[in-house]
A = this chain, B = another copy of it.
Amino acid sequence: MKTVGIVGLGVMGASFAARTKELGYRVLGMDIDQKTVDYALEHDMIDEGSIDASLLLGQCDFIILALYPTKLMGWIGQYQKDLRPGTLIMEISGVKSNINEPIRAILRSDLELLSIHPMCGRESRGIEFASGKIFDGANFIIIPNEANSMNSIVFVSVFAKELGCRNISVLSVKEHDRMIGFLSQLTHVIAVSLMNTHENSHLVEYTGDSFRDLTRIAKINEDMWTELFLLNKDILLDEIDQFVDSIENFRQVLVDEDEEEMKRLFVQSTQRRLKFDK
C-alpha cells in the first residue's frame, strides 16, 4: 500500500488519518502540536508522526493538507522543497477560488495540486472528535484544474470510494464556491443569526427537535469559518441577499394573509426538500 502524509491533525486531518490507517495505508501524521501527534500515535491513527514535517515528507507518495485555508500558502512556501518529485498534494479547504490558483502560482513545477472537498465534518474542532466514520456515505467533490493528470483524477476517485464516500462528483472552482456559498455557508449564517436573534437560554426546556436541528451548526469554529467566509465574500453576500428576499417575500404573504400563496410556498418547499432525502 502507498504512504500517505496527513498535514494537520485537526478533526478533518485526523479523520483522514484514522480511515486511511484502517484501510491499510502507511500513514504519516504531521502537526505543530506534539500532544496532538502523541494522541494520534496512541490512538493508532498514524504509523509515524512528527512536529517537523521535513522529516517525513520525503517518504510520502501523496499528501493531504488539512490546514486552515490561510496557512496553506505559508506551508507550501516552507515545505515543498521536502517533497519528492511527482508527489500529489490534495488540499481540502472549504473554498477554492482564492486557494487553488495562488498555490499553483508558487508550486514547484514537478508537484501536482488537486483540490478536493469531502462534504462531511463535525461541529467540534480537534483530534478528539476525529473519526473515520464521517466519510461513510458522504458526498465527495473533486475540483480539478488544467494541470491535473488523468492518473491523479482516477487515483482520487478510487481513494474517495475507499474512504467510504457515496457520490463522487466533479465541479469547477466557480461551481464549487457557488454551491458552497448556498449549501454550506448560507446555512451557517442562518443558524448563527438565528441563535443571535435574541437571548434564548430560558427556552431550553420548551424546545422541540426543529430548533435543535436548525441550529446544530451554530456551534462553529470561529477562526476557520471567518477565513472561509472572507475567502468567498462576494458569493456569500449574494446568497444572503437572495435568502433575505425570500424570507421578506414570505413575510409580505403573511402580512397580506394570502392563504393561497402561503400554501403554494409550503408545497414548493416540501417538493424541493423531498429530493434531498437520503
Contacts and interface: CB of A to CB of B under 8 A. Distances in A.
Interface of A: 119-121, 138-139, 141, 167, 169, 171, 179, 182-184, 186-198, 200-201, 203-223, 225-226, 229-230, 233, 236-237, 239-251, 254-255, 257, 259, 262-263, 265-270, 272-276, 278
Contacts of A207: 119, 139, 183, 276
A231 to B, nearest CB: 11
B119 A201 contact: no
Given A240-B247, A254-B229, A257-B233, A208 B138 contact: yes
Interface of A is mostly: helix
Nearest to A179: B206
Contact of A211 (B141, B169, B187): B187
Given A184-B211, A237-B254, A246-B197, A220 B278 contact: no
A195 B254 contact: no
Contacts of A203: 179, 182-183
B119 A192 contact: no
Contact of A269 (B192, B255, B273): B192
Contact of A206 (B141, B223, B226, B266): B141
A247 B189 contact: yes
A171 to B, nearest CB: 7
Contacts of A223: 263
B275 A204 contact: yes
A220 to B, nearest CB: 5
A125 to B, nearest CB: 11
A250 B189 contact: yes
B270 A219 contact: yes
B247 A244 contact: yes
B236 A211 contact: no
Given A139-B205, A190-B190, A207-B119, A197 B243 contact: yes
Contacts of A167: 205-206
B187 A218 contact: no
Given A191-B269, A215-B273, A240 B246 contact: no
B257 A230 contact: yes
Contacts of A254: 229-230, 233, 236-237, 240
